[in-house]
Amino acid sequence: MDFAKPKKIFIVDDDTMLTEALKDYLTRKVPHTVKSFHTGEECLKYLYEEPDVIILDYYLNTVQKDAANGMEILQTIKKNYHNIHIIMLSSQERYAVAMQTIQKGAEQYVIKDENAFEKIAQMINEMS
Amino acid sequence: MKIKLLSTLLLFAYGSTFVNAQQATEATLKTAFLNAKGDSASRNRLEELMIFYLRDNTKSKEESFQKLQAIVKKKSDPSVNYFLLISRVVLTHTPDSIIATRKYINEYLQECLKKNDKKNYVIGLTSLSQSESYAGNYDEALKLILRSLDYARDTLKDAEVISNIYLTLGIFYYDQHDTLQAIAYNKKSLAIAMEINNLDNIASVSNNLAMQYSDLAQYDSAKVYFRKSISLFHQFDKAGQISNPLCNLALVFYKTQEFDSALFYARESIHYSLLDNYEESLGAGYYVLAQTFTGLNKQDSAAIYYQYAKDIYEKRNVPAALIAFYPDLAGFYALQGNYKSAYEYLKKSTAIKDMIFNADNNAVIKEMDSKYQASKKAQEILKQEELIKRQQILSYSVMAIAAFFLLLLFFIYRSYRLKQKSNKLLGIAKEKAEQSEKFKQQFLANMSHEIRTPMNAVMGMTTLLIEKNPRPDQFNYLDGIRKSSDNLLHIINDILDLSKIEVGKMELEQIDFSIRDVADQVKQTLHHKAEEKGLELIIDCDSKIPDVSIGDPTRLNQVLMNLTGNAIKFTEKGSVSIEIKMSAIENTILFSIIDTGIGIPKDKLQSVFESFSQANASDTRKFGGTGLGLSISKQLVELMGGTISIESEEGAGTVFSFEINLPAGSIERMKQQKTTEQIDGSILNGLRILIVDDNEYNRIVVHDILKLMASVEIFLATNGKEAIEQAEKNNFDVILMDVQMPLMNGYEATQYIRKNIDTPEKFTPVIALTASVIRTDLDKCRAAGMNDYVPKPFKTSQLITSIANATGREIKFVPNINKQIKYEKENHSSVSNLSYLEKFCNGDQKQMQKYIGMFTSTATDLIEKITAALSRNDFEEIANLVHGYKTKWIMMGMNESKELAILIERQCREKMPEKNIKDDVLKLIEQIVSAKAELT
């Protein structure tokens, strides 16, 4: 069935607990290939692998102060790889930020809360 | 007397307006025809007008045809001209007329072909078929109609025309008494008419379908279609036509013994008939009303309406209607003891029958008769003289014998009448009693359904919310809702149980189970209640009790719960204990529930087991409950082949004890009957499921529960019709079907799917989700072709098991982890809570340890960094540090820390930290420290 098709997924977040947990969660039901990165720059190096989906944190510079933030990374990805689906992830619970990322080419915007994993998994399943 | 006088007066008044009524009907139908727009509407109106003339006995048929022709000429519409010819065949019914019609239509068909006018060509063919059918040439008619159907489908492709042809085919088969075929074609016509929204055809076809279903005694379907056509006729604002289906619907309700509805629709029908002076359905309306009143045993009212009906029927003088009416009227007179009138009407009915059936043979019979009469006369003259002599001798003796027999007959008849009268009274009383029992059953079934439907939504959504990790205070409220709804369901089930036991429909299971487990369950459920009152709840189970017994654990649990719950309720201090011992009789176990409560007065001991009884009326107020528990317990124990007894001393306590036969069972078997509580939902992964329910909330509950348990693709429909539409388009693995829905119910939808959508290669399992628990309803599910049913409100495991069974998935259980999430209480002192993590990892201890390790290994680092930043007043750094921990708070169940961290981050980022922010940060550090200690 099409919704259960395994996909190549990148997760970009400086929170190690999140990348690990999300990876576990996503691969539990469907055998997706998941790679995680703690900075956006690192992720950009592997874009040639052409992942189907990138789950991208909005704040990427809480650990490494000089790291580019999620918005910059989003724009870079969309410029070079138009077809990659991007799901923005953030604890920034503000509508304006969400709107901004969607305008810049993100497909979805997910707030980090208890249901975030479930929402992401569902979004990925619903992607063609 | 008064009633009879009144009815006579009314009849007189009605009679004087009768001629006017005929004229008014004619005028109404005429206007309707002239105003009709479009082919089907015109043809339908013209057909009604023709039928009117056909039944009008005041004019000759030729005269009627002239009239009809004049009316049609007023409307210059070529498509109805054919119909006029058919009318001629029907009305005048001569061989000439069919020959003329054939010639005329064939000429016209040629003309259409020349002009390439496809539409009129098909209409011409259909009309010709109808003429042939009316003239009795059925083979020819069928050939023609099928030809026009092929042409309409392949070449013309006009939906309205095709719908009309199917309608004609329906009428054709109905005339041939092939009702099933007629229904099939009417349904095709209806489907197309609905697609193109041709209301006129929808209404007509619905009415036809309803009549046919009614003929087949499928009254439920008949009702649906009558209602459909009625509601459409309402839209058209054509009262003259609405009275007919209304009256027929009333008749259906009369036949299904739903007299109230029958009365309602009969009166509606009469109302509209009077409004439009449509005396045909007026007569029928009075007739149904009379029948219904007879059914209700209101003979005075029935008599009045029989009079009205009779008057109209006789004035209209339609033989076919009279044949049906007179025997019934005779039956009514017989019921009233008026045998003279009864006989008279039976005779009349037979006379009409003879008249019709002999009409064709009349000429032959007349000829034979005259010949016979002639020869008879000659013989008679010879015999007469001899006869007269003989008769004189005989006549005296015959008279004496006849007188004796008459006297004897009179006495026999008198005693028979007396006996019959008393039998009738007894019969009525019995019928009434049976009916009231039936009403009670129906009421219980309805109530159960009405309450269970919303309960399903309440309980399901509560479960879903609890799964969403609520805050502790929210959890407490949700838990309250859950417990209260459990209680409510319990009460409903009690009431239902009682009614089931009363009618002997309660069935017991015979499975392997552990008595100790059942007792433990009772303790687990009730120990809170006991604790609240400061009571000790003790279970004392003899070691000789076998580990596994055979019986019905659910019902045993119910009895123990009832008795123990009661004991706790009526005990203020001391203890309640459940003692389980082997009885002196083999395989029999003695259960005793002993309390130190208020006790029961001696004079009340006998009545405690009666329904709705508590020792004191005031107890109900004080202690609550339905008063059914003990009565049910007693009946359940007796059903299990045991006896229950009670000993009590006022002020000292009460002992309830019962003995039931529970032979030892096998452990192996019991292991196989493993509880399904921890079923693994992911076995359903990948299924495409259609949920059909008219209740929005129930749709949400089923949808969310399935989504929560497995990755499935879900589709929704709100009634049977939508379900069929979806099933035609999609390939579902299973359909979850509610039963009672508007437009089309679950039974009908399933029947349709089985008949029209399923193929030998593809069979879609259908599982009923029904709030009804009445056996007959469940039987209906099976009969309709459903595979299984899940009662509402359902448990998640029930639903999953049923779907897995229907789709051939193997049932799996979540390994060795108690999925029951333990929630923290308000006075809980720990900072962390692993319930979320446990659920997230599906109980996988190794994975849980991984995450706990990730938290504890970074905790010290975090504490140091935060403390350093705090000392530098570097609030931005603090914000960054706590921000990166959001997932960790959630995973470790540190809800308080999560809220605190959000507060701290916001204040820091806004660069206007409040004075107490330092306190907040210190508090957070403290929480991290204790969480680390808890988790290591």
CB contact under 8 A, B890 and A14: no
Q: What's the rounded mean pLDDT across residues A78-91?
A: 86
Burial letters A92-126, b for 16+ CB under 10 A, else e: beeeebbebbeeebbebbbebeeebbeebbebbbe
Closest residue of chain A to B895, computed from CA coordinates: A114
Taking each helix axis from N to C end, the angle separating B239-255 and B18-35, rounded to the nearest 10 degrees, works out to: 110
CA torsion sign, B231 to B232 to B236 to B242?
negative
- Which position has the token pair 């209700």? B296
CB contact under 8 A, A21 and B686: no
CB contact under 8 A, B468 and A29: no
Q: Which two tokens mark B543? A: 């070691």
Residue type at A127 in one-letter notation = M
Half-sphere exposure of B923 (CA within 13 A, CB side): 13
Confidence class of residue B80 from pLDDT cuts 50, 70 and 90? Answer: low
Best mean pLDDT range from A118-122, B75-79, B134-138: A118-122
pLDDT of res. B671 = 65
Nearest of A16, A15, A11, A13 to residue A26 by alpha carbon: A11
Contacts of B53 (CB under 8 A, 6+ apart): B59, B61, B64, B65, B67, B68, B87, B91
CA torsion sign, B381 to B382 to B384 to B385?
positive
Q: Which two tokens mark B412? A: 């026999």
Above 70 in pLDDT, residue B672?
no
CB contact under 8 A, A62 and B884: yes
Q: What's the rounded mean pLDDT across residues B812-828?
A: 43
CB contact under 8 A, A21 and B855: no
> Which region among B130-134, B361-365, B568-572 has the lowest average model confidence (pLDDT)?
B361-365
Give tens-digit pLDDT for B366-420. Answer: 545 655 565 566 566 556 666 666 666 666 666 767 777 777 777 777 777 777 7
CB contact under 8 A, A62 and B883: yes
CB contact under 8 A, A17 and B688: no
Task: Give me the phi and psi of B833, to 5 degrees please.
Answer: -155, 120
Above 90 in pLDDT, residue A104?
no
pLDDT of res. B157 = 81
Give tens-digit pLDDT for B444-471. Answer: 666 777 777 788 888 888 888 887 777 7
Decide if B703 touches A, using CB distance below 8 A: no
CB contact under 8 A, B886 and A125: no
Q: What's the rounded mean pLDDT across residues B659-686?
A: 74
Q: Who wins on pLDDT, B592 or B91?
A: B592
Taking each helix axis from N to C end, the angle separating B61-74 and B78-92, rounded to the nearest 10 degrees, works out to: 170
Q: What's the rounded mean pLDDT across residues B479-490?
A: 77
- Report H helices in B468-539: 472-502, 515-532
Task: Give me the phi and psi of B551, to 5 degrees please.
Answer: 175, -160
Residue type at A47 in one-letter notation = L
Q: What is the mean pLDDT of chain A?
A: 83
Which residues in chain B are contacts of A117 at CB distance < 8 A? 840
Rounded to the nearest angstrom, the minimum Cα separation between B880 and chain A is 5
Report the C-alpha gap between B378 and B602 in whole angstroms.
Answer: 101
Nearest of B837, B856, B893, B683 to residue A25 by alpha carbon: B837
Report the C-alpha gap between A48 and A44 in whole angstroms.
Answer: 8
pLDDT of res. B737 = 92
**Four-point Cα dihedral B628, B630, B635, B636, nearest 10:** 100
Q: Is the distance from CB of B648 to CB of B664 less than 8 angstroms?
A: no
Q: Is the distance from CB of B644 to CB of B656 less than 8 angstroms?
A: yes
Complex prediction ipTM:
0.82
Confidence class of residue A81 from pLDDT cuts 50, 70 and 90? Answer: confident
Q: Residues in chain A whose beta carbon is closer than 8 A to a beta carbon of chain B? A: 1, 3-4, 14-18, 20-21, 24-25, 28-30, 59, 61-63, 91, 112-115, 117, 121-122, 125
Contacts of A97 (CB under 8 A, 6+ apart): A58, A90, A109
CB atoms within 10 A of CB B440: 13
pLDDT of res. B238 = 57
Rounded to the nearest angstrom, the minimum Cα separation between B874 and chain A is 13
Task: Give me the phi and psi of B592, to 5 degrees please.
Answer: -130, 135
Above 50 in pLDDT, residue B13?
no
Above 80 in pLDDT, residue B37?
no
CB contact under 8 A, B887 and A17: yes
Report the C-alpha gap between B166 and B188 in whole angstroms.
Answer: 7
pLDDT of res. B815 = 52
Q: What's the rounded mean pLDDT across residues B802-814?
A: 83
Report the C-alpha gap between B54 and B60 in whole angstroms.
Answer: 10
> Which region among B497-506, B524-533, B596-605 has the lowest average model confidence (pLDDT)?
B497-506
Which residues in chain B are contacts of A18 at CB distance < 8 A? 886-887
Report the C-alpha gap between B545 and B587 in whole angstroms.
Answer: 9
pLDDT of res. B620 = 47
Above 50 in pLDDT, residue B2?
no
Name the pTM for this structure.
0.35
Q: Which two tokens mark A63? A: 């650990």
pLDDT of res. B15 = 37
- Which position has the token pair 């007397």? B1
pLDDT of res. B129 = 84
Q: Who wins on pLDDT, B828 or B368?
A: B368
DSSP code at position A107: S
Decide if B875 touches A, using CB distance below 8 A: no
Above 90 in pLDDT, residue B691?
yes
CA torsion sign, A57 to A59 to A65 to A69?
positive
Above 90 in pLDDT, residue B690?
yes
Above 80 in pLDDT, residue B86?
no
> Which secondary-structure segment (H or E) carries B659?
strand B653-661
Q: Is the peptide bond before B793 cis (omega within 30 degrees of 0)?
A: yes
CB atoms within 10 A of CB B400: 9
Among B713, B854, B886, select the one facing A112 at the smallest CB separation. Answer: B886
Q: Is the distance from CB of B175 to CB of B166 less than 8 angstroms?
A: no
Instruction: Suggest the residue from A15, A27, A29, A114 to mutate for an interface test with chain B (most B CBs closer than 10 A).
Output: A114
Nearest of A4, A84, A86, A88 to residue A51 by alpha carbon: A84
pLDDT of res. B3 = 34
Determine how β-strand B788-791 pairs with β-strand B766-770.
parallel
Give tens-digit pLDDT for B237-270. Answer: 554 578 888 888 898 888 888 888 888 888 888 8
> Which region among B104-108, B558-562, B909-913 has the lowest average model confidence (pLDDT)?
B909-913
Q: Is the distance from CB of B312 to CB of B283 less than 8 angstroms?
A: yes
Report the C-alpha gap between B792 and B694 in whole angstroms.
Answer: 14
Best mean pLDDT range from A97-111, B5-19, B178-192, B461-475: B178-192
CB contact under 8 A, A4 and B711: yes
Above 50 in pLDDT, residue B5?
no
- Which position has the token pair 């838990």? B479
Give tens-digit pLDDT for B270-329. Answer: 888 877 777 778 888 899 989 888 888 888 888 888 988 888 888 877 777 787 888 888
Rounded to the nearest angstrom, the minimum Cα separation between A115 and chain B is 8
Decide if B836 touches A, using CB distance below 8 A: yes
Q: Is the distance from CB of B631 to CB of B556 less than 8 angstroms?
A: no
Decide if B682 touches A, using CB distance below 8 A: yes
Rounded to the nearest angstrom, the minimum Cα separation between B898 and chain A is 10
Give tens-digit pLDDT for B142-155. Answer: 888 888 888 888 88
pLDDT of res. B791 = 79
CB contact under 8 A, B887 and A21: yes
Q: How many CB pairs under 8 A join A and B?
A: 63
Report the C-alpha gap between B569 and B597 in whole angstroms.
Answer: 9
Q: Which two tokens mark B396? A: 């005296």
Beta bridge partners of A55: A11, A87
Residue type at B399 in one-letter notation = M
Nearest of B121, B133, B45 to residue B89 by alpha carbon: B133
Task: Give me the phi and psi of B830, to 5 degrees please.
Answer: -80, 150
pLDDT of res. B77 = 66
Burial letters B116-125, b for 16+ CB under 10 A, else e: ebbebbbbbb
Q: Who wins on pLDDT, B340 or B613?
A: B340
Above 90 in pLDDT, residue B880?
no
CA torsion sign, B778 to B784 to B787 to B790?
negative
pLDDT of res. B692 = 93
Determine how β-strand A108-111 pairs with β-strand A53-57.
unpaired
C-alpha distances out from residue B263 to B231, B258, B291, B447, B475, Å: 18, 9, 10, 25, 53
Give tens-digit pLDDT for A32-80. Answer: 899 999 888 888 888 888 899 999 988 777 667 677 788 888 988 888 8
Give Cα B710 distance to the centre of its chain. Answer: 31
